[in-house]
Amino acid sequence: MLHAASPAREFDAAAPRRRERALEDLAGGFARWRLAWALARSDITHRYRGSVLGPFWLTISTGVMLTALGVLYAKLFRMDVTDYLPWLAVSLIIWNTLSQSVTDASASLTGAEGVIRQMPLPFTVHALRVVFRNAVVAAHNLPLIGVVFAVFGVAPSWTAVLALPGLVLLSVGVFAASIFLGMVCARFRDIPPIVGSVMQIAFFVSPVIWKPEMVGHWQPWLPINPFFAVMETVRAPLMGETGGIVVWLMAVLWTGALCGLAWVFFVRFRGRIAFWV
């Protein structure tokens, strides 16, 4: 039998060294990215176990919803389907990714209760698991944008490359949300339903099914809405625009604020998580 090097672990309630522990948690969690990936992958395969199409049901249901909403809302808003549907496809797929990630983030720690109470594991792993799981789901939906573009003959422009930093920004945001919301929702069980209804309201007040220019002179104020700012950093590039400096600045600002908040909570309350779940 081989012997692992003996790591020493010390805890003194009088000197908790919280910041140091939080950093160790992050480092240890990222070092175990393989575990987070394996868990995220099995989350998806377990959800569709025994199903013939498996995770492609995600693609199909998004496709059906797109067709139905696209045709109906083009009629309601008196817009050309060939113009509206590609825009809606990009919009809705990004929004679904964002909104499902946020809802998922609320359960990042309560969902891993069994592991948290039985073995010491960096909490970062659970947050990474949420990011990876939603990335897998997004990977099943994003290709639909290509299909819709092909059907309606929309040629993607070079700006589409800018969607990549947008997706990175979104992932960072989902990671921070998994830490922050995960902790708050573990402690206060009324928060998850609140998150659910906030996301529902956000769906209607953010330009997801309606176009930003429809609000007229309010349009410059839209980036104050964090969901719009973050969503636009992916959507605008895919639609052949850059999104503008204000949108990017606000998206970075909002994501940074969320990261800051998550860090403060994580440092202060990390040691209590095992008692909360």
Q: Which of 47, 140, 187, 211 binds another protein (CB under 8 A)?
A: 187
> Is the Cβ of residue 1 or residue 155 nearer to another protein in the bound state?
1
C-alpha span between 201 and 211 (Å, rounded): 17
Q: Which residues contact 275 (CB under 8 A, 6 or more apart)?
A: none
Question: In the bound complex, what is the minimum distance in angstroms from residue 113's beta carbon to another protein?
Answer: 11
**Window 9-38: contact mask with another protein (x via CB under 8 A):** xxxxxx-x-----------x--xx-xx--x
Residue 44 backbone dihedrals phi, psi, to 5 degrees? -70, -45
Question: In the bound complex, what is the minimum distance in angstroms from residue 272's beta carbon to another protein?
Answer: 8
Question: In the bound complex, what is the minimum distance in angstroms from residue 152's beta carbon to another protein?
Answer: 41
Q: Which of 17, 19, 189, 268 binds another protein (CB under 8 A)?
A: 189
Q: Which of 17, 19, 42, 196 binds another protein (CB under 8 A)?
A: 42
> Is the Cβ of residue 43 or residue 241 nearer to another protein in the bound state?
43
User: Do residues 263 and 177 make contact, with C-beta atoms less than 8 angstroms apart?
Assistant: no
C-alpha span between 128 and 153 (Å, rounded): 37
Q: Quick one: which of 129, 110, 256 has its CA closest to 183?
A: 110
CA-CA-CA-CA dihedral for 238, 241, 245, 248, to nearest 10:
-10
Query: Is position 275 an interface residue for another protein (rule: CB under 8 A)?
Result: yes
Q: What Cα–Cα distance (Å) separates residue 16 from each residue in 2, 10, 21, 131, 267? A: 33, 10, 8, 29, 10
Query: Is position 192 an interface residue for another protein (rule: CB under 8 A)?
Result: no
> Is the Cβ of residue 37 or residue 73 nearer to another protein in the bound state?
37
> Is the Cβ of residue 6 or residue 197 nearer to another protein in the bound state?
6
Q: Which stretch binds another protein (CB under 8 A): 76-84, 135-143, 256-264, 269-277?
A: 269-277
> Is the Cβ of residue 7 or residue 216 nearer to another protein in the bound state?
7
How many chain residues interact with another protein (CB under 8 A)?
A: 39
Helix (H, G, I), strand (E, B) or coil at 79: coil
248 burial (CB, 10 Å; 0-12 / 13-18 / 19+) is: buried
**Where in 104-143 is the site for another protein (CB under 8 A)?**
114-121
User: Do residues 209 and 73 make contact, with C-beta atoms less than 8 angstroms apart?
Assistant: yes
Question: In the bound complex, what is the minimum distance in angstroms from residue 245's beta carbon to another protein?
Answer: 42
Q: Which of 6, 52, 213, 245 binds another protein (CB under 8 A)?
A: 6
CA 269 to chain CA centroid, Å, is 23
Query: Is position 54 an interface residue for another protein (rule: CB under 8 A)?
Result: no
> Is the Cβ of residue 75 or residue 272 nearer to another protein in the bound state?
272
User: Do residues 251 and 229 make contact, with C-beta atoms less than 8 angstroms apart?
Assistant: yes
Q: Quick one: which of 238, 250, 252, 56 has its CA closest to 173?
A: 252
Which chain residues interact with another protein by CB under 8 A? 1-14, 16, 28, 31-32, 34-35, 38, 42, 46, 49, 114-121, 187, 189, 271-272, 274-276
